[in-house]
């Protein structure tokens, strides 16, 4: 058995959900390994658009099992809403959605702490989605967290109350004015806990070991992107989990030797939501055109995404860290209409020309160095095969392949399942 990985190579929002959905028919099991409701994986098919936050993107396929791994953090309230929103799809959740007992729970007070922390940071804020992700992972690594498996224990309420008490003390120390009705938040939380109990909890490492023995195929679905990784991203403007390939091993309980293909997803340009450095960010009409044509608004928060040209320095870095074996390029259709496209090939870093991703990519240290390539005018959204691609798109694809040394296997030309072109 090989566990194939699918992950984002930029700052998230690369279109991973769409591709998992497209690939699901090739796999028996789809598994999320990190992140939580900060993610928003958008899927479009049969004229329906759907955004998933915690549930793996294989949920719509009849024969796939969907696993929420131990590396994921779960907000039961958001999770329940997601399940409710899928009620029209006739999905038998008890049969096809399983949760690792070792996944951590996001408490209402984790969300409050997230808000307090961001408020206290003022201008230096991370731009968090405020879903409680950071405080929950802090409790996990601090060995204070509550896990899904704890729900089954007779002293769950004692554990809950102990952590809640700790959080309320921490909130006082932040000394910021945030309004909340904890009683109401807890009412929702415990209702959702009752619902989540109806699903099957598993020991995911045992589940994957059995799947391996049974020769079943697995696709691990990453959330966020490589440049938001807590170690290798643009720290501190990152999320709190390991979004890179290594995270799939720790977030599911599979061994490194079991990893097969690593599918790296990237947009034909770059976007970022929230704060933090972004060397190729555009503040001009070209940036506005990308934002408009790409409908670049966050699927979880609705925030406008920052847009910029493709950054090859960052892309090569992401390919290396993850050991990418196949590239999928998304949103090529958004680049239609430009006379010329710019691609960043190097950075000027403290006066020196470099071709690697340095420790500090803050604006004051970095200036992108671009090469220009010819654009294309053709609307790609109706294209059915790569033979219909304009010549300059083929050249763009070949150029990226040559620079990264990795084949682009798929080019996506629109949000729908059908707008996916295999090269």
Instruction: Kindly name the residue from 4, 21, 41, 104 that is annotated as catalytic.
Output: 41
Residues 6+ apart with CB under 8 A from 366: 277, 279, 347, 348, 349, 358
Q: Which residues contact ligand IMP (rule: CB under 6 A)?
A: 11-13, 38-40, 126-129, 131, 133-134, 223-224, 228, 237, 239, 273-274
Whether 13 is catalytic: yes
Instruction: Kindly name the residue from 4, 13, 333, 416 that is annotated as catalytic.
Output: 13
Residues 6+ apart with CB under 8 A from 22: 417, 420
Q: State the DSSP code for 16.
A: H
How far apart are CB 129 and ligand IMP at their closest, in Å?
Answer: 3
How far apart are CB 244 and ligand IMP at their closest, in Å?
Answer: 14
Phi first, then psi: give them for residue 196, nearest 5 degrees. -65, -30
Comparison of 153 and 178: residue with beta carbon closer to ligand IMP? 178
- Closest-by-Cβ residue to ligand IMP is 274
Tell me the residue ranges of DSSP E strands in 216-303.
218-221, 259-267, 270-272
Q: State the DSSP code for 338.
A: -
Comparison of 24 and 42: residue with beta carbon closer to ligand IMP? 42
How far apart are CB 265 and ligand IMP at their closest, in Å?
Answer: 12
How far apart are CB 74 and ligand IMP at their closest, in Å?
Answer: 14
How far apart are CB 335 and ligand IMP at their closest, in Å?
Answer: 20
How far apart are CB 102 and ligand IMP at their closest, in Å?
Answer: 20
Q: Are strands 97-100 and 65-68 parallel, antiparallel or unpaired?
A: parallel
Q: What burial letters (b/e) apply to 172-189, b meaning 16+ CB within 10 Å?
A: eeeeeeeeeeeeebeeeb
Comparison of 57 and 224: residue with beta carbon closer to ligand IMP? 224
Kindly tell me the sign of the dihedral angle through the C-alpha atoms of 27, 31, 33, 36: positive
SS3 169: helix
Comparison of 128 and 420: residue with beta carbon closer to ligand IMP? 128
- What does the block give as tokens for 211? 């799947």
Comparison of 51 and 373: residue with beta carbon closer to ligand IMP? 51
Tell me the residue ranges of DSSP E strands in 211-256.
218-221
Comparison of 100 and 136: residue with beta carbon closer to ligand IMP? 136
CA 235 – CA 360 distance, rounded (Å): 9
Q: Which residues are catalytic?
A: 13, 41
């Amino acid at each position: 058995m090989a566990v194939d990985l699918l992950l984002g190579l930029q700052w998230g929002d690369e279109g991973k959900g769409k591709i998992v959905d497209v690939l699901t028919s090739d796999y028996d099991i789809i598994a999320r390994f990190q992140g939580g409701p900060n993610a928003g994986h958008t899927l479009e098919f049969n004229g329906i658009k759907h955004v998933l936050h915690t549930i793996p993107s294989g949920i719509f396929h009849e024969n796939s099992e969907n696993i929420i791994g131990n590396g994921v953090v779960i907000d039961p309230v958001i999770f329940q809403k997601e399940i409710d929103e899928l009620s029209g799809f006739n999905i038998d959740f008890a049969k096809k959605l399983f949760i690792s007992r070792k996944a951590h729970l996001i408490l209402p007070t984790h969300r409050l702490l997230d808000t307090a922390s961001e408020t206290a940071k003022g201008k230096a804020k991370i731009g968090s989605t405020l879903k409680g992700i950071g405080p929950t992972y802090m409790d996990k690594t601090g060995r204070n967290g509550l896990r899904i498996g704890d729900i089954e224990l007779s002293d769950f309420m004692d554990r809950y109350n102990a952590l809640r008490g700790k959080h309320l003390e921490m909130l006082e120390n932040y000394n910021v004015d945030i309004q909340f009705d904890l009683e109401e938040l807890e009412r929702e939380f415990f209702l959702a806990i009752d619902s989540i109990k109806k699903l099957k909890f598993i020991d995911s490492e045992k589940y994957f070991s059995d799947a391996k023995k049974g020769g079943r195929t697995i696709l691990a679905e990453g959330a966020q992107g490589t440049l938001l990784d807590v170690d290798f991203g643009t720290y501190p403007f990152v999320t709190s989990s390991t979004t890179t390939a290594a995270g799939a091993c720790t977030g599911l309980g599979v061994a490194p030797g079991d990893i097969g293909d690593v599918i790296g997803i990237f947009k034909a340009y770059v976007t970022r939501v929230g704060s933090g450095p972004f060397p190729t960010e555009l503040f001009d009409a070209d940036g506005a055109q990308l934002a408009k044509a790409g409908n670049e608004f966050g699927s979880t928060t609705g925030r406008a995404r920052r847009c910029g040209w493709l950054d090859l320095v960052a892309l090569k870095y992401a390919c290396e860290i993850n050991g990418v074996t196949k590239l999928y390029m998304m949103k090529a259709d958004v680049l239609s209409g430009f006379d010329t496209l710019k691609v960043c090939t190097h950075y000027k870093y403290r006066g020196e020309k470099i071709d690697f991703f340095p420790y500090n990519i803050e604006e004051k240290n970095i200036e992108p160095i671009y090469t220009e390539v010819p654009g294309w005018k053709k609307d790609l959204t109706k294209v059915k095969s790569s033979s219909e691609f304009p010549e300059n798109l083929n050249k763009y694809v070949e150029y990226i392949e040559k620079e990264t040394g990795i084949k682009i296997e798929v080019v996506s030309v629109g949000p729908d399942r059908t707008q996916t072109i295999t090269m």
